[in-house]
């Protein structure tokens, strides 16, 4: 009961702290921004990645002339006159690109003088997407014209164009490799670890804050062991961190980015929460002020970030045992073999428990010295 009372008090203090509410809003902003950055980065290599996330109404293509033979999909078409200033139209009519075609495309093709010009606003992130759609339509038109010509020569275009038929079994990936690698290999772990990193700071604030307010002694002399004090502080922090991680995962799913193995992911993040809370307890034992604790937390998170994310670019043995690798495997693979992740879970659980016991003993030792 005493432990639950302390945990309830700590939860109320956290919920009433405006700084933590601001941190939650900042994390929300980061999650939304990071997904957009991933789309922006991968659209450079594969512009059509934007097709799943951007409504056609937001991609306006101006057309001057006859483009009726082109199958322009997922674009909002805006008709332009042939004597219009196309560069100016890009800005005034908020167009992503302008396609200029002959007045009669069929006649121009028959005469062999079909010229198509595409004006692109390179400052617009969707310009590459519009370029890819127009290029694909032109290639498809060219293929259809070849089939018509082959049919006239041989009676059947397949005999000339496709003498060998290849069958691809299985459905192709709906997302390009660049997006999958960037999102699941780096950004999803980063997003899900944000609450875990914040838990360290919340732990030091909870314990060192008691020292600064001169209320820590009351906790020590109360009928509570050091372990109960730590658990009373840690349980609300771990619960809030886990709820935030769940919210970020659901937000990613809502934005069309699947996050698989959610129960296992939450278990993994719970173990990481315990580890970083334990590190926060150890820092609290060594700190007499919030300022000292914040410096320690900053150094700890820099070192942890390097240890977690630096091996991502190396893809060596360190990456195989990194929590980032475990998160990436679980989040991206709906059928990940448990034998591949269980050793990581076991190692992380052991490390978290040992660190928590070390933090408890260090806190007790420093308090005995101080007394």
Same domain for 189 and 305, yes or no, is: yes
Does position 203 have pLDDT exceeding 80, yes or no? yes
Same domain for 183 and 291, yes or no, is: yes
Q: Would you state the pLDDT for residue 241?
A: 93
The reply to whether the predicted model has a pTM over 0.85 is no
Using one digit for the tens of pLDDT, what is the confidence trace for 52-79?
666 666 788 999 988 888 888 778 889 9
Q: Would you state the pLDDT for residue 43?
A: 61
Classify residue 325: in a domain, yes or no.
yes
Torsion over CA: 300, 303, 309, 311 (sign): negative
On the CB side of 251, CA atoms within 13 Å amount to 18
Range 190-205 average pLDDT: 91
Same domain for 29 and 137, yes or no, is: no
Based on the number of CB atoms within 10 Å of its own CB, is 351 exposed (0-12), middle (13-18) or buried (19 or more)?
middle
Six-digit token string for 278: 């334990």
What value, to the nearest 5°, has the Cα angle with vertex 119 and ends 115 and 125?
A: 140
Six-digit token string for 281: 């307890």
Q: Would you state the pLDDT for residue 158?
A: 55
**Mean pLDDT across the chain:** 80
CATH code for the domain of 96: 3.40.190
Query: What is the distance between the alpha carbons of residues 253 and 250, in angstroms, rounded to a whole number?
Result: 5
| Strands 97-100 vs 76-80: parallel, antiparallel or unpaired | unpaired
Q: Give the bridge partners for 100, in sequence order.
A: 64, 117
Six-digit token string for 10: 């700590």
| Strands 97-100 vs 60-64: parallel, antiparallel or unpaired | parallel
Same domain for 323 and 227, yes or no, is: yes
- Cα Rg, the chain, nearest whole Å: 29
Same domain for 227 and 338, yes or no, is: yes
**59 lies in which domain range?**
48-161
Same domain for 232 and 356, yes or no, is: yes
Q: Would you state the pLDDT for residue 168?
A: 40
Q: Would you state the pLDDT for residue 248?
A: 92
Using one digit for the tens of pLDDT, what is the confidence trace for 122-150?
777 677 778 888 888 888 888 887 777 76
């Amino acid at each position: 009961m005493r432990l639950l009372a302390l945990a309830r008090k700590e939860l109320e203090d956290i919920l009433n702290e405006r700084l933590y509410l601001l941190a939650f809003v900042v994390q929300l902003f980061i999650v939304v921004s990071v997904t957009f950055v991933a789309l922006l980065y991968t659209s450079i290599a594969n512009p059509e990645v934007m097709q799943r996330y951007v409504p056609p109404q937001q991609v306006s293509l101006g057309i001057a002339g006859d483009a009726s033979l082109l199958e322009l999909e997922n674009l909002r078409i805006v008709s332009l006159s042939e004597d219009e200033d196309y560069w100016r139209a890009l800005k005034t009519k908020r167009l992503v690109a302008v396609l200029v075609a002959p007045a009669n495309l069929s006649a121009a093709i028959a005469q062999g003088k079909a010229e198509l010009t595409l004006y692109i606003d390179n400052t617009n992130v969707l310009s590459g997407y519009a370029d890819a759609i127009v290029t694909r339509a032109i290639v498809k038109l060219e293929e259809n014209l070849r089939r018509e010509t082959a049919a006239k020569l041989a009676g059947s275009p397949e005999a000339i164009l496709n003498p060998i038929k290849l069958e691809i079994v299985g459905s192709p990936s709906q997302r390009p490799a660049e997006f999958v690698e960037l999102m699941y290999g780096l950004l999803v772990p980063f997003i899900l670890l944000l609450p875990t990193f914040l838990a360290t700071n919340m732990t030091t604030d909870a314990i060192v804050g008691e020292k600064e307010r001169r209320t820590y002694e009351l906790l020590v002399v109360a009928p509570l062991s050091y372990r109960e004090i730590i658990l009373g502080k840690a349980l609300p922090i771990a619960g809030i961190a886990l709820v935030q991680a769940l919210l970020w995962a659901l937000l990613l799913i809502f934005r069309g980015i699947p996050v698989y193995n959610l129960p296992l992911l939450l278990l993994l993040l719970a173990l990481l929460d315990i580890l970083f809370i334990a590190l926060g307890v150890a820092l609290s034992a060594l700190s007499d002020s919030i300022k000292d604790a914040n410096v320690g937390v900053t150094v700890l998170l820099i070192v942890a970030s390097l240890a977690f994310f630096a091996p991502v670019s190396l893809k060596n043995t360190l990456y195989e045992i990194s929590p980032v690798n475990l998160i990436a495997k679980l989040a991206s693979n709906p059928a990940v073999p448990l034998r591949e992740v269980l050793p990581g879970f076991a190692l992380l659980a052991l490390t978290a428990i040992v660190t928590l016991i070390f933090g408890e003993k260090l806190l007790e030792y420093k308090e005995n010295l101080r007394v």
